[in-house]
Amino acid sequence: MIRALPLALFAAVACGCASAPPTSPKSARASLEKAELDFAAAVDTRGAAAWADYFADDGIAVDEKAQVTRGRDAIRARMAPVLAKVKISWHPTVIYVSASGDMGFTSGPYEVTVPTQGGGPPRVVGRGSFVTVWKRGADGAWKILADHGSQDTSSP
């Protein structure tokens, strides 16, 4: 699915960022973790609209086939049919914030499920890992600059 991006992109985009409000490293990390968890919760309830809302206007999403989708509207259009069929769950296990507090990335596992008939537990149709590059605005809000996922294709 769509999640994760090489750290080279993180380094490349970090150079041109405006300063975020002053913050301690601990509070910046906590705010980025909260942004990632809020992102997952919003997508769970609001689908593609929430997915796109968390991206910067010029954000990009890279899928497991390395197809790049650019811009919030295109990302919403790309994710709407996907999220109409499946549920994507994820949580960060790595959270890093730059010393300046205005850039960061999150990484962790994701799982894709589909509902089963008869109300049974959802069926897992995919698993993998993600990396998301975030930029913190002058207002303190985190927005996604780049997101990419890598699907686990190994046997269970």
What is the per-residue pLDDT across 123-132, written as a single tens digit (0 to 9) for each? 999 999 999 9
Q: Which of 2-6, 92-96, 112-116 has the lowest mean pLDDT?
A: 2-6
Residue with tokens 């968890």: 37
In angstroms, the CA 94 to CA 74 distance is 28
Task: Look up residue 49 and give its amino acid.
Answer: A
In b/e form, how buried is each residue of 70-102, taking b as 16+ CB within 10 angstroms? ebbebbbebbeebbeebebebebeebebbeebb
Residue 21's pLDDT is 55
- Reference 68, options 137, 6, 135, 142; nearest CA is 6
Residue 82 has which token pair?
A: 């996907």
- Cβ burial of 120 (10 Å; 0-12, 13-18, 19+) is exposed
pLDDT class of 155 with cuts at 50, 70, 90? low
pLDDT in tens, 95-137: 999 999 999 999 999 999 998 888 888 999 999 999 999 999 9
Residue 53's pLDDT is 97
In angstroms, the CA 85 to CA 152 distance is 20
Q: Does the pLDDT value for residue 5 go beyond 80?
A: no
Q: Which domains does the chain have, with CATH numbers?
A: 7-13+21-151 (3.10.450.50)
Task: Look up residue 18 and give its amino acid.
Answer: A
Residue 141's pLDDT is 95
Q: Is the pTM of this model over 0.85?
A: no
Q: Does the pLDDT value for residue 18 go beyond 90?
A: no
Residue with tokens 């605005």: 137
**Mean pLDDT score, 66-81:** 96
Residues in the chain: 156
C-alpha distances in angstroms, 146 versus 17, 51, 108?
14, 12, 15
In angstroms, the CA 51 to CA 75 distance is 8
